């Protein structure tokens, strides 16, 4: 069935751009490299990352996961970045999906244990959101997280994502079904401070 409105993001917009490196506060968000596999394997052995992201990776899976992001960029189905300093990867952030028609995406992020508590996830979320609204043309970005994960709630709130509600029994984790908080920003919310 055809839409009666044009897509919020013209197909090809993302594909026609090179994936940028985004800079803020001594961090850079850069495309994943297959050479990051060891960091990914280590990340997904961390109990907190495994708990909230419900995944593990061996080296081959990590190489494939890192390589998949360039295909997802070209296919305009998502976009992932390593959150790094010039010397090391500290975390990840991604637009997990891209809905051209409604100009919508959802975000995933994590930070390695040695980098937690320094505002890195908040900086990454603000930086990515600013780019996604101003350059990619997204209208709405959502963050959802388990209500049992207050750290993620703090990141979303500090990055200007309003809490919109609770989705009951929305995600299956290793310990059962979790209610999920839904946070969002829309392009008209003003500057991200």
Whether the pLDDT of residue 13 is over 70: the answer is: yes
Q: Are 169 and 147 in contact (CB under 8 A)?
A: no
Whether the pLDDT of residue 121 is over 80: the answer is: yes
Q: What is the pLDDT of residues 55-109, one digit of tens each?
A: 889 999 999 999 999 999 999 999 999 999 999 999 999 999 999 899 999 999 9
- Structural domains of the chain, with CATH: 22-189 (3.40.630.30)
Q: What is the pLDDT of residue 193?
A: 63
Q: DSSP labels for 68-137?
A: HHHHHHHHTS-EEEEEE-SS-EEEEEEE---BTTTTEEEEEEEE-GGGTTSSHHHHHHHHHHHHIIIII-
Whether the pLDDT of residue 169 is over 70: the answer is: yes
Q: What is the pLDDT of residues 143-164, one digit of tens each?
A: 999 999 999 999 999 999 999 9
- Whether the full predicted model's pTM is greater than 0.75, yes or no, is yes
Q: What is the pLDDT of residue 192?
A: 67
Starting from the edge strand earliest in sequence, which strands make up the sheet with 27-31, in order? 22-24, 27-31, 79-84, 89-95, 104-111, 140-146, 176-186, 162-173
Mean pLDDT of all residues belonging to the chain: 94
């Amino acid at each position: 069935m055809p839409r009666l409105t044009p897509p919020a993001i013209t197909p090809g917009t993302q594909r026609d751009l090179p994936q940028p490196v985004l800079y803020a506060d001594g961090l850079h968000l850069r495309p994943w490299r297959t050479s990051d596999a060891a960091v990914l394997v280590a990340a997904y052995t961390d109990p907190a990352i495994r708990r909230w992201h419900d995944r593990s990776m061996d080296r081959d899976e990590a190489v494939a996961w890192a390589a998949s992001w360039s295909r997802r960029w070209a296919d305009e189905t998502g976009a992932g970045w390593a959150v790094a300093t010039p010397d090391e990867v500290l975390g990840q952030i991604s637009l997990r999906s891209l809905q051209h028609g409604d100009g919508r995406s959802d975000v995933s992020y994590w930070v390695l244990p040695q980098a937690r508590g320094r505002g890195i996830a908040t900086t990454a979320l603000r930086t990515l959101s600013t780019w996604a609204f101003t350059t990619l043309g997204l209208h709405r970005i959502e963050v959802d997280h388990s209500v049992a994960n207050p750290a993620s709630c703090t990141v979303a709130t500090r990055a200007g994502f309003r809490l919109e509600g609770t989705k009951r029994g929305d995600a299956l984790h290793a310990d059962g079904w979790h209610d999920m908080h839904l946070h969002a920003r829309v392009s008209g919310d003003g500057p991200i401070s």
